[in-house]
């Protein structure tokens, strides 16, 4: 089950939950979060990273940058 539930999170559910704990309210989907954001030149801890399949107009996946070229995310295939 995706989203935000007792069964777990999808990628945007994890981001929304994490930011909510920090007092920030974000939209529910990766695409809607992307629309609300702004591009940065250099990633800082806590910045969001977006991923999209080839030729997609909107991202379908979002992750949180944690530094040292690493990020955390929720994957439908790897947990």
What is the model's pLDDT at position 78? Answer: 61
Q: What is the pLDDT of residue 5?
A: 66
Rounded-to-integer distance, Cα 20 and Cα 32, Å: 16
Place of tokens 């007092």: 23
The yes-or-no verdict on residue 77 having pLDDT over 90 is: no
State the CATH number of the domain containing residue 55. Answer: 3.90.1720.10
Q: What's the pLDDT score for residue 79?
A: 54
Q: Is the residue at 78 inside a domain?
A: no
What does the pLDDT read at residue 17? 92
Active site residue 61: yes
Query: HSE on the CB side for 67, CA within 13 Å?
Result: 1
Residue 5: inside a domain, yes or no? no
Examine residue 8 and state whether it is found in any structural domain, yes or no: no
User: Residue 1: pLDDT band by 50, 70, 90 thresholds?
Assistant: very low
Our answer to whether residue 73 is catalytic in this structure is yes
| Number of domains into which the chain is organized | 1
Catalytic pick among 18, 50, 52, 73: 73
**20-69: per-residue pLDDT in tens?**
999 999 999 999 999 999 999 999 999 999 999 988 889 999 999 999 99
Triad 12, 69, 30: Cα angle to 5°: 15
Catalytic annotation present for 48:
no
Residue 68 CA to residue 11 CA, distance in Å, equals: 20
Is residue 4 assigned to a domain? Answer: no
Q: Which residue range forms the structural domain that includes residue 65?
A: 14-72
């Amino acid at each position: 089950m995706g989203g935000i539930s007792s069964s777990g999170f999808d990628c945007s559910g994890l981001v929304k939950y994490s930011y909510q704990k920090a007092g920030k309210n974000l939209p529910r989907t990766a695409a809607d979060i992307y629309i609300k954001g702004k591009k940065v030149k250099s990633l800082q801890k806590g910045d969001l990273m977006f991923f999209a399949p080839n030729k997609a107009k909107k991202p379908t996946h979002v992750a949180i940058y944690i530094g040292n070229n690493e990020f955390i995310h929720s994957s439908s295939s790897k947990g």
